Amino acid sequence: MEDKDIVKIFLDTQEWQTFECKRAAIRPADFLETVVGFANADGGFIVVGLEDPAKAQGDKRLLGISENPDNVSDFLKLIDKEIEPPLILWGKFELDITNAQGQADKLLVLNIKKSNDVHSLKRGDTFVRKGRQNVKIGSTEIMRLKYEKGAIKYESEKSGTTSLENLDHDLLAQYKKDTSSTGLDDWQFLKDNGLAVGGNGKYELTKAGLLLFGKNPSVALTSKCGIKVSHYYGTKPTYTGKPNFVTRPFTIEGPLMKQIEQAIEYFRGIVKSSPPKLSGASFNPTFLIPEWAFQEAITNAVIHRNYFVQDDIQVRFFDDRVEVESPGTYPGHITVENIRAERFARNPLILRTLNRFQTAPNLDIGEGVDRMFKVMKEQNLYEPLFFPPTLRPNSVLLLLLNMHKIEYWDTVSKYLDENYRIINKKAREITGVSDVLKMSRLLRGWVDKGLLEKIGKAKKDSYYRKPGQEVPKGLFSRGVDNKTDKGISSS
């Protein structure tokens, strides 16, 4: 993209969760609050030299950094000096513009990454970005945010359980066998693996120990930490009359390993019982999602959910999709944009333990999510759809669509990854579809499936983008790292 193209997108983008405009004359304190708010939430872009859209329109908003260049220089110094712990994942770049007075000028763009930690101003205030506002939070909310990001490990806390009586001893014995540790004392073995604390005959299970080997962790921890399964006829729940459940909703509880196994077993039952459909000269199954893709989805939910949040993982089966929703948003610096390539474990003890079973549901080689995309693609199914925090702020919602792709989707999806938005004319140009109405039907169909959302109502100003995407993904690779003076990316 050229500078003018990026500026045009910024002019068309409303201030929201991941985007903010600032004049160069702004108070440094206000600027720092936004930087901290973005880092503590989902990251985003701050464009300095661009007027608020409520105060000016179009090119009249292009005031540039020449309005107060010294102030801009102070901003950049204060990011290093006034935020603790120090902010590492951020970068900056400039865009050449002609300002509202017709003079050559620049916009300064700060690319603030979602952080693995919770940041505060040295004066003591902590902010998070919520909608268009930087919201100051207190100690309780700061603690919750630390759990959310994984800066505090719920799994490592003491559980209050000092007896092994209510453990699944068969499962523990299997784990000891799988790790060549059958001769070790149970308590010492659990302690050596981070699943218990103490010594000299006085031990206590950690919460990870209970989650992994307790007969019923939900009871022992007095918390919801199971998997709630709802199976529906059709493509949406009915809220009037008789509920359209295939079976009564039920909750899978017990050790995490067995929760995963039981969820997969239910999935297999759906595949086995799904009626075949005649296609050409042969019958093909109507349930198309590969077992491996579902296994990866449910395993990720169990491993990476926020156990501090007292809620079950929700698995919802519909005719056209499976939804897996886990409590807590994306951990650490993970975002919808980098989830295929990046790794961050909110619960590393749970991840490690499950991986060491001989029948491990997870490979722990950093390729699980990416492989899920590839497996779906190999079956000519739509790519897994992760909802962004702007649309689902307190959970991670994943959709696996039970339908073959319309052949043009790959072309449109790739274009959107690189160019952020698309209109009917451009979609026809890149796919070779000449009929305007046919392309309109395709675009509407992708909106109905949740793959796209339409922005704007007026025909001449409307366009399509991927759900919740505020700014082009391509911009995340543009910038200068403030520490190393190298280009930064989404890593």
Q: What is the CATH number of the domain that holds 363?
A: 3.30.565.60
CB 447 within 8 A of CB 463: no
| Residue 233 lies in domain | 227-401
Whole-number percent of the chain with pLDDT over 90: 76
Residues 196 and 335 in one domain: no
The answer to whether residue 485 is domain-embedded is: no
Q: Which parts of 7-145 are beta strand (E)?
A: 19-22, 44-48, 83-84, 90-98, 104-112, 120-121, 126-130, 133-137
Q: How confident is the model at residue 39 (pLDDT cuts 50, 70, 90)?
A: very high
| SS3 (DSSP) at 184 | coil
CB 362 within 8 A of CB 343: no
Order of strands across the sheet that contains 227-232: 245-252, 227-232, 313-317, 321-327, 395-401, 385-386
Distance CA 144, CA 150 (A): 10
pLDDT value at residue 486: 32
| Rounded average pLDDT over 352-378 | 85
The answer to whether residue 205 is domain-embedded is: yes
Please indicate whether residue 249 or residue 2 has the higher confidence score (pLDDT). 249
The answer to whether residue 35 is domain-embedded is: yes
- Whole-model pTM: value is 0.88
User: CA torsion sign, 361 to 364 to 366 to 367?
Assistant: negative
The answer to whether residue 170 is domain-embedded is: yes
What domain count does the chain have? 4
CB 196 within 8 A of CB 190: yes
Residues 259 and 368 in one domain: yes
| Rounded average pLDDT over 28-39 | 93
CB 212 within 8 A of CB 162: no
Q: What are phi and psi of 464, to 5 degrees?
A: -120, 145
Residues 456 and 420 in one domain: yes
> In what helix (H) or strand (E) does residue 229 lie, and over which residues does it extend?
strand 227-232
CB 91 within 8 A of CB 110: yes
Distance CA 253, CA 184 (A): 28
Tokens for 278, please give them.
């005649």
End-of-domain residue from the set 363, 384, 401: 401
The yes-or-no verdict on residue 472 having pLDDT over 70 is no
Residues 330 and 384 in one domain: yes
Nearest residue to 358 (alpha-carbon basis) of 200, 179, 213: 179
Tokens for 383, please give them.
């790519």
The yes-or-no verdict on residue 223 having pLDDT over 80 is yes
Q: How confident is the model at residue 435 (pLDDT cuts 50, 70, 90)?
A: very high
**DSSP-assigned letters across all residues of 398-418:** EEEE-SBPPTTHHHHHHHHHH
Please indicate whether residue 366 or residue 362 has the higher confidence score (pLDDT). 362
The yes-or-no verdict on residue 489 having pLDDT over 60 is no
Residues 388 and 426 in one domain: no
Residues 133 and 200 in one domain: no
**DSSP-assigned letters across all residues of 273-327:** HSPEEEETTEEEES----HHHHHHHHHHHHHHS-TTS---EEEEE-SSEEEEEEE
Distance CA 38, CA 57 (A): 25
Q: Cα–Cα distances in Å, from 38 out to 31, 58, 176, 338, 482?
A: 11, 25, 44, 17, 17
The yes-or-no verdict on residue 479 having pLDDT over 60 is no
Q: Residue-wise over 126-161: b if at least 16 C-beta within 10 A, else e? A: bbbbeeeebeebeeeeeebbbbbbbbebbbeeebeb
Least-confidence region, from 263-277, 374-388, 403-417, 469-483: 469-483
Query: In whole numbers, what is the pLDDT of the chain averaged over residues?
Result: 90
End-of-domain residue from the set 356, 381, 401: 401
The yes-or-no verdict on residue 215 having pLDDT over 90 is yes
End-of-domain residue from the set 182, 199, 220: 220
Residues 209 and 308 in one domain: no
pLDDT value at residue 113: 93
pLDDT value at residue 475: 59
CATH number (domain holding residue 454)? 1.10.10
The yes-or-no verdict on residue 60 having pLDDT over 70 is yes
Per-residue pLDDT reduced to its tens digit, 110-122: 999 999 999 999 9
Cis peptide before 249 (omega within 30 of 0): no
Residues 250 and 393 in one domain: yes
The answer to whether residue 487 is domain-embedded is: no
| Rounded average pLDDT over 64-75 | 94
The answer to whether residue 490 is domain-embedded is: no
Helices (H), 15-68: 28-40
The yes-or-no verdict on residue 481 having pLDDT over 60 is no
Tokens for 50, please give them.
């661009």
CATH number (domain holding residue 20)? 3.30.950
| Rounded average pLDDT over 289-315 | 96
| SS3 (DSSP) at 20 | strand
The answer to whether residue 486 is domain-embedded is: no
| SS3 (DSSP) at 250 | strand
| Rounded average pLDDT over 357-378 | 83
DSSP state of 357: S
Nearest residue to 149 (alpha-carbon basis) of 159, 138, 160, 141: 141
Per-residue pLDDT reduced to its tens digit, 86-140: 999 899 999 999 999 999 999 999 999 999 999 999 999 999 999 899 999 999 9
Q: How confident is the model at residue 477 (pLDDT cuts 50, 70, 90)?
A: low
| Rounded average pLDDT over 253-272 | 96
Helices (H), 88-214: 139-149, 169-178, 186-192, 207-213
pLDDT value at residue 241: 82
Q: Which amino acid makes up residue 114? A: K
Residues 309 and 357 in one domain: yes
pLDDT value at residue 485: 36
Q: Which long-range contacts (CB under 8 A, 24 or more apart) does 49-57 make?
A: 49/22, 49/23, 49/24, 49/97, 49/99, 49/105, 49/106, 49/107, 49/108, 50/10, 50/11, 50/21, 50/22, 50/23, 50/107, 51/21, 51/23, 52/15, 52/21, 52/23, 53/14, 53/15, 53/21, 56/100
Residues 11 and 74 in one domain: yes
Q: How confident is the model at residue 284 (pLDDT cuts 50, 70, 90)?
A: low
Residues 19 and 78 in one domain: yes
The answer to whether residue 488 is domain-embedded is: no
For residue 397, the cross-strand partners are 325
Residues 287 and 373 in one domain: yes
